[in-house]
């Protein structure tokens, strides 16, 4: 049986959902179309992931600024 692109996409979304990764349509994500980073999600992740290390908002912004310095192609 051959997968169509839509069937493959649906299967991957289902597999990721089973692992706890939510599916969100791109148009529902708050960012400019040319932006690669989803900064709000990254801020939340870094704050939660490194809370025990007492990460500061300034350190989080430094990480984001450093990532923004890369070209979009490098981030992909």
Residue-by-residue pLDDT tens, the chain, 76 positions: 687 999 999 999 999 999 999 898 877 887 777 777 889 889 999 999 999 999 999 999 999 999 988 887 776 6
SS3 69: coil
Instruction: Give the span between the Cα atoms of 29 and 41, in whole angstroms.
Output: 10
Total number of domains in the chain: 1
| pTM of the complete model | 0.63
| Domain containing residue 67 | 5-75
Instruction: Give the span between the Cα atoms of 33 and 35, in whole angstroms.
Output: 6
């Amino acid at each position: 049986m051959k997968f169509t692109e839509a069937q493959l996409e649906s299967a991957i979304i289902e597999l990721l959902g089973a692992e706890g990764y939510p599916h969100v349509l791109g148009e529902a994500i708050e960012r400019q179309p040319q932006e690669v980073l989803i900064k709000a999600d990254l801020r939340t992740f870094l704050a939660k992931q490194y809370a025990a290390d007492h990460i500061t908002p300034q350190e989080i912004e430094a990480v984001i600024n450093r990532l923004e310095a890369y070209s979009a192609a490098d981030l992909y």
